[in-house]
């Protein structure tokens, strides 16, 4: 899920992580998905925050131009454990065609707004939903370059139609000494999603947590990092929540509360 970026702002701060999640039965579903990301969003922190405010890196998975750039996103990059992985992927989509890259971009804007309102400085790994990449190794390095206290990668899964629920991935075993922090971050995010009435995945992980050694963005990060798979886009119930503006607002509230709990704010 990643590739070279065209924006100068992103070139300065490249990098981060990955995606799956779900809501409990009876959660509200919306009609056609709508995008509400503010126009001109950039990788800059909000001017309203103080210089000593904690920094959080948000990594909206994939990118809108990835599908038109197979060679760019297919090139091998370091995986953080001595091997290589493709630079990025196109991501998944609901059966109705709502793409993961659009979902993660919209969700990132909602989470950013909430965190900035709480006095947190936010940096993004991409500044629009029209480019290509960045690559997974660049995403993994972005948190350290931004001086982030935490990095959160936002995704949605593409598993079998019967699979439901969110899971939060973290590097296991850790590579750069960030293991305890990453597990605390993943746990805080899991608890935030559970408190937000989202159900943990019934097909992967353990009680909403998933230690992974195969995700380059997690392996390469030098700051506490977790990847949130908010739900399964191929499951009809999950897709209804992921595709609705109300559902994305609920996810944003839950993820933001997890981040703020981790930061002790």
In the chain (265 residues long), the average pLDDT of successive 10-residue segments reads: 37 37 36 41 47 94 98 98 97 98 98 98 97 97 98 98 98 95 98 98 98 97 98 98 98 98 96
Q: What's this model's pTM, rounded to 2 decimal places?
A: 0.83
The answer as to CATH 3.40.630.40 being correct for domain 8-21+52-263 is yes
CA 1, CA 70: separation in Å to the nearest integer? 11
Q: What is the pLDDT of residue 51?
A: 78
- Which residues contact residue 139 at a Cβ distance below 8 angstroms, ignoring those fewer than 6 apart? 2, 14, 15, 16, 17, 59, 125, 153, 217
Q: How far is CA 190 from the centre of its chain?
A: 13
Token pair belonging to 139: 């995403």
Q: Annotated active-site positions, please?
A: 229
Q: What is the pLDDT of residue 40?
A: 34
The length of the chain is 265
């Amino acid at each position: 899920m990643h590739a070279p970026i065209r924006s100068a702002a992103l070139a300065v701060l490249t990098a981060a992580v990955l995606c799956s999640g779900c809501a409990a039965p009876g959660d509200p579903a919306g009609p056609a998905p709508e995008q509400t990301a503010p126009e001109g969003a950039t990788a800059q922190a909000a001017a309203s925050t103080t210089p000593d405010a904690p920094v959080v890196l948000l990594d909206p998975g994939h990118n809108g131009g990835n599908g038109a750039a197979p060679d760019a996103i297919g090139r091998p990059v370091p995986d953080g454990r001595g091997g290589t992985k493709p630079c990025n992927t196109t991501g998944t989509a609901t059966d109705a065609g709502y793409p993961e890259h659009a979902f993660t971009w919209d969700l990132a804007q909602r989470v950013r707004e909430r965190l900035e309102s709480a006095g947190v400085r936010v940096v993004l790994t991409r500044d629009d939903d029209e480019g290509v990449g960045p690559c997974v190794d660049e995403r993994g390095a972005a948190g350290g370059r931004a001086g982030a206290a935490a990095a959160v990668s936002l995704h949605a899964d593409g598993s079998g139609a019967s699979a439901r629920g969110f899971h939060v991935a973290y590097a296991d075993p850790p590579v750069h000494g960030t293991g305890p922090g990453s597990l605390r971050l993943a746990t805080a995010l899991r608890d935030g999603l559970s408190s937000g009435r989202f159900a943990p995945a019934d097909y992967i992980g353990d009680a909403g947590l998933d230690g992974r050694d195969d995700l380059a963005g997690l392996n390469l990060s030098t700051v506490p990092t977790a990847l949130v798979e908010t739900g399964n886009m191929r499951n009809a119930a999950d897709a209804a929540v992921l595709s609705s503006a109300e559902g994305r607002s609920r996810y944003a509230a839950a993820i933001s509360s997890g981040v703020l709990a981790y930061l002790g704010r």
